[in-house]
Amino acid sequence: MNKETKEDDGMVEVKVPFMGFYGTYAEDALCLFGDNDRYGASPALIDKMNEFDAVSDISECKELVSKTYVENFFLNLNAELKKEGLPPIIPFEYSGVVSPREYNFETDRVFVKVPRKIMVDYWKHILGDTMLRLELAKYLEEEFKSRDGFMSFYDHLVVDWEAKDPNKFDTNEMGAILMVLMRAFFTEEWEDFAVTEGCDWCKERVSWGEKADKIRDEIYEMQVEENR
């Protein structure tokens, strides 16, 4: 995935609103054994959990959690759009998650492919709807206005975006459309829910690496013994 959009049979790649996995609520989604598992556990079991954490590979879990998040995102977004009498954004196809080498200035980005025509139609709808246009103005101001320590590559005024051809929007510009819809129709707590919903299901169905998987199975056996 890169900044330029990718097309295939009318589909365009879009960045999905996502908090990232570092220093956020979503970080817990990548932790198989958390504080609750450690509470009341024997020192030997806690040491084994720490050993698991030291060798586990979170990449497969991160991929499945991201895919599940995208499914939850569009399931809920389309339900909210239906309430407003608006068409669903379908079909959608999970494209992948990209993580930075360092989290100093960037975070994880999740991408999806959706029909370009639907995105362009929603862009026109946002510009023509007073509430959504105001939400767009707020978002552009917050996200793209240059400030000390940050030089934006995008305009931050609606009038400047309005002059652009939406058919040529890149992944970030297309992503702004989804962000505006999310901010307008979702509750503030929704993103936390979407990340964790189905997360336990994901964590039980991925490999954490050959060595880590073996340690995981040993931990499960130790938990059974200690809970007898």
Per-residue pLDDT of 96-118, as tens digits, reads 999 998 887 788 999 999 999 99
Polymer length of the chain? 228
Please report which confidence band the pLDDT of residue 6 belongs to, taking 50, 70 and 90 as the band edges.
Answer: very low
- Compute φ and ψ for 81, nearest 5 degrees: -65, -35
Instruction: Report pLDDT digits (tens) over 128-146.
Output: 999 999 999 999 999 888 8
Model confidence at 147: pLDDT above 50 = yes
95: helix, strand or coil: strand
User: pLDDT digits over 45-89, tens only?
Assistant: 999 999 999 999 999 999 998 998 899 889 889 998 999 999 999
Q: Is the pLDDT assigned to residue 158 strictly greater than 90?
A: yes
Q: At 79, phi and psi to the nearest 5?
A: -65, -40
91-98 long-range contacts (CB < 8 A, ≥24 apart) are 91/115, 93/11, 94/66, 94/67, 94/70, 95/1, 95/13, 96/1, 96/63, 96/66, 97/62, 97/63, 97/66, 98/1
Q: How confident is the model at residue 4 (pLDDT cuts 50, 70, 90)?
A: very low
Please name which of 59, 28, 75 lies closest in space to residue 192, comparing C-alpha atoms: 28
Per-residue pLDDT, 102: 85
Of residues 15 and 195, more confidently modeled = 15
How does residue 189 score in pLDDT terms, banded at 50, 70 and 90? low
